[in-house]
């Protein structure tokens, strides 16, 4: 099922439109306020600068003050009820904004801006914590992609509409007031259609002290190293995006020689690119939480960030170009492509990170982890603003700041991937498997969402563990022949995935015994363990008899057993088919069509080696 089918589902669509309408209204209000201060009130440049610089600070301040409290609210109480209260709060804020627009009362509008920051702060933990409750695991990446796309498009449209309406002579403030109140009211009624999302920690003892609770939320966010580093990755995305967007007006005016329409165009390209990249994540990841896309996204941000500098590092030869004249100028389409692809790779980068946090963080702490993420995001946004301002004061141009941020992205990404090698391991696996094969998966719904299970599969090629790693929705510990485990390059992948090397009794009885002990310990910890009971690669394409090791594992630790079968690998890359014919092992079937079939779990007492062998043969199509 396509991710777009979620837009027709009540468990997702009302929430999607509620958050999109909120993002639209927030953007429309902020931009209308800036237009009012800059063009409608006859203020001096100094006063305009004061208000436009004070506005972002007032909006971001609630994230520091109230994120921890918002995380508690989202854990302790039913989420849809909080959403409705938040939307009522938005209506009240927009009524005040209407009075401020019509009377040109900027101090009141700044208060409303702070209120909208509170609105976003409270809604943030709910926005991402509600998705795992509403969606199946196979829908999580697609749902996040739609939310990210919807947010980007809503912000972009809100920015444009807010600017245009406020600049209508004589009636701009009245139109802006009517729009923002109307959208808030519509958002409230849409929010009433969101299905209930029960509290995940109703017994939570509420802490009203924002300082001590902020410290506790940050400690919770740090508990899982992989989750915390994913949060750092998301915060870095906000740093990079803040630096980029803050420099675009100067870059547009000086380097591109464009007017306000060109500035709108470059923002549009970045937003559309991010939306496209977000939507592509589901297809590219095979509907899994595929963090292998994160290094790809980081790579693209650097490559196209550097190329943006190289495309136009100096001042434009002409000034005052509108968007059409800019597109007709020499070299403009390279810049268009760079800005769009920076957005696309930003989508590849951030959507899997959000999905990873949602899937890995404990359900009863997820909202507080998201709150911790929001606190760190706000901190990095402030640092990014200071970073850009400092480089400007040192004489760096907007294009040079883009280059600096793109190169800094390499350092930060390398640091994160060093701390959590799983990101790089998944990237290598994703690239190898998707380069060599075209894979169809059937029956993944049978894989247990939690708890221990033993996976058994036929063994056709040296790539089998990588194929399974790339397609299983839960991490699994693979038991593999120790010589394959030690293959250069792949050793990093297998070691990072905590694969378990095994040897034959005659080769190394100590390695064999340690493998059985490690399997038992992994199952005791509630992990998935995958074994290839044939004991080696097939020599002729058929399934060899399953050995008794599977029974030994189950006798020691009775757990459900999930039979699986690989089809289409015989004769493909790294199978033994070519070597049997006396040929070099070259890919005769490069990009082979491969199928992974997952069967329903079997109780341990019924899972003899012979029964499992017969079942895998049926799955593979060898038996009627």
Both tokens of residue 586? 């070259």
C-alpha span between 302 and 306 (Å, rounded): 6
**CA 91, 97, 99 angle in degrees (round to 5)?**
115
Q: What is the pLDDT of residues 473-491, one digit of tens each?
A: 788 899 988 887 887 767 8
**pLDDT at residue 80 tops 70:** yes
Residue 479: is it exposed, middle or buried by C-beta count within 10 angstroms (0-12/13-18/19+)?
buried
| Torsion on CA atoms 440, 442, 445, 448, rounded to nearest 10 | -90
pLDDT at 417: 78
| More confident: 395 or 18 | 18
The stretches of 361-420 forming alpha helices (DSSP H) are 366-393, 398-419
> What percentage of the chain carries pLDDT values higher than 70?
93
Q: What is the pLDDT of residues 412-458, one digit of tens each?
A: 888 877 777 777 777 878 788 888 888 888 988 898 878 999 999 99
Lowest-confidence segment of 100-104, 176-180, 390-394 by average pLDDT: 390-394
Confidence of residue 624 (pLDDT cuts 50, 70, 90): very low
| More confident: 536 or 401 | 401
Phi, psi of 124 (to 5 degrees): -55, -55
Residue closest to 429 by CA, chosen among 456, 465, 462: 465
42-55 mean pLDDT: 66
DSSP-derived secondary structure for 57-110:
HHHHHHHHHHHHHHHHHHHHS-HHHHHHHHHHHHHHHHHHHHHHHHHT-HHHHH
Q: What is the pLDDT of residues 181-204, one digit of tens each?
A: 999 999 999 999 999 888 888 888
pLDDT at 457: 93
pLDDT at 527: 92
pLDDT at 580: 45
Residue closest to 92 by CA, chosen among 69, 121, 70, 115: 115
Most confident of 254-263, 315-324, 439-448, 601-610: 601-610
Q: Which secondary-structure segment (H or E) carries 124?
A: helix 106-134
Q: What is the pLDDT of residues 143-186, one digit of tens each?
A: 888 988 898 899 889 988 888 888 787 888 999 999 999 999 99
Residue closest to 100 by CA, chosen among 206, 176, 204: 176
pLDDT at 577: 59
**CA 503, 508, 513 angle in degrees (round to 5)?**
70
pLDDT at 15: 93
Phi, psi of 508 (to 5 degrees): -160, 90
| More confident: 53 or 597 | 597
């Amino acid at each position: 099922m396509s991710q777009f089918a979620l837009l027709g589902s009540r468990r997702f669509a009302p929430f999607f439109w509620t958050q999109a309408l909120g993002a639209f209204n927030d953007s429309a209000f902020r931009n209308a306020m800036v237009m009012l201060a800059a063009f409608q009130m006859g203020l001096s440049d100094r006063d305009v600068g004061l208000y436009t610089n004070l506005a972002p600070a007032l909006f971001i301040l609630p994230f520091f003050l109230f994120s921890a409290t918002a995380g508690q609210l989202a854990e302790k109480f039913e989420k849809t009820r909080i959403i409705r209260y938040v939307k009522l709060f938005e209506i009240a804020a927009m009524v005040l904004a209407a009075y401020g627009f019509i009377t040109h009362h900027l101090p009141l509008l700044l208060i409303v801006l702070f209120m909208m920051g509170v609105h976003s702060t409270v809604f943030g933990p709910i926005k991402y914590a509600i998705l795992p409750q509403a969606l199946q695991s196979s829908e999580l990446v697609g749902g996040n992609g739609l939310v990210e796309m919807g947010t980007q498009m809503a912000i972009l449209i809100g920015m444009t509409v807010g600017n245009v309406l406020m600049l209508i002579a004589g009636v701009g403030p009245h139109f802006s007031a009517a729009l923002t109140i109307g959208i808030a009211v519509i958002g409230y009624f849409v929010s009433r259609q969101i299905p209930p999302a029960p509290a995940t920690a109703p017994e939570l003892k509420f802490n009203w002290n924002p300082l001590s609770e902020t410290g506790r939320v940050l400690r919770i966010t740090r508990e899982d190293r992989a989750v915390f580093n994913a949060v750092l990755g998301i915060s870095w995305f906000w740093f990079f995006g803040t630096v980029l967007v803050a420099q675009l007006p100067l870059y547009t005016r000086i380097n591109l020689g464009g007017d306000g329409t060109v500035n709108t165009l470059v923002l549009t390209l970045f937003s559309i690119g991010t939306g496209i990249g977000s939507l592509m994540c589901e297809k590219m990841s095979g509907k899994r939480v595929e963090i292998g896309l994160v290094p790809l996204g980081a790579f693209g941000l650097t490559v196209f960030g550097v190329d943006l500098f190289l495309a136009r590092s100096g001042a434009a030869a002409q000034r005052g170009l509108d968007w059409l004249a800019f597109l007709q100028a020499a070299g403009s389409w390279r810049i268009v492509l760079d800005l769009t692809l920076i957005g696309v790779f930003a989508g590849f980068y951030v959507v899997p990170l959000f999905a990873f946090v949602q899937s890995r963080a404990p359900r009863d702490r997820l909202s507080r982890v998201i709150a911790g993420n929001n606190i760190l995001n706000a901190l990095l946004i402030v640092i990014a603003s200071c970073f850009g301002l400092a480089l400007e004061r040192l004489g760096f141009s907007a294009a040079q700041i883009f280059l600096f941020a793109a190169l800094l992205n390499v350092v930060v990404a390398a640091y994160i991937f060093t701390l959590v090698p799983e990101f790089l391991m998944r990237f290598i696996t994703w690239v190898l498997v998707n380069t060599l094969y075209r894979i169809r998966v059937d029956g993944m719904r049978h894989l247990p969402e939690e708890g221990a299970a033993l996976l058994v599969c036929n063994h056709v090629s040296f790539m089998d563990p990588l194929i399974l790693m790339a397609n299983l929705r839960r991490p699994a510990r693979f038991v593999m022949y120790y010589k394959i485990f030690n293959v250069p390059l792949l050793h990093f992948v297998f070691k990072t995935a905590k694969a378990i090397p095994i040897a034959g009794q005659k080769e190394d009885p100590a390695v064999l015994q340690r493998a059985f002990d490690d399997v038992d310990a992994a199952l005791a910890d509630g992990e998935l363990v995958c074994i290839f009971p044939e004991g080696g690669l097939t020599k002729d394409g058929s399934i060899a008899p399953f050995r008794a090791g599977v029974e030994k594992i189950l006798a020691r630790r009775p757990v459900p057993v999930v039979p699986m079968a690989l089809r289409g690998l015989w004769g493909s890359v790294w199978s033994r088919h070519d070597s049997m014919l006396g040929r070099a092992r070259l890919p005769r079937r490069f990009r082979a069509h491969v199928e992974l079939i997952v069967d329903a779990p079997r109780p341990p007492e019924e899972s003899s080696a012979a029964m499992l062998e017969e079942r895998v043969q049926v799955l593979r199509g060898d038996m009627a």
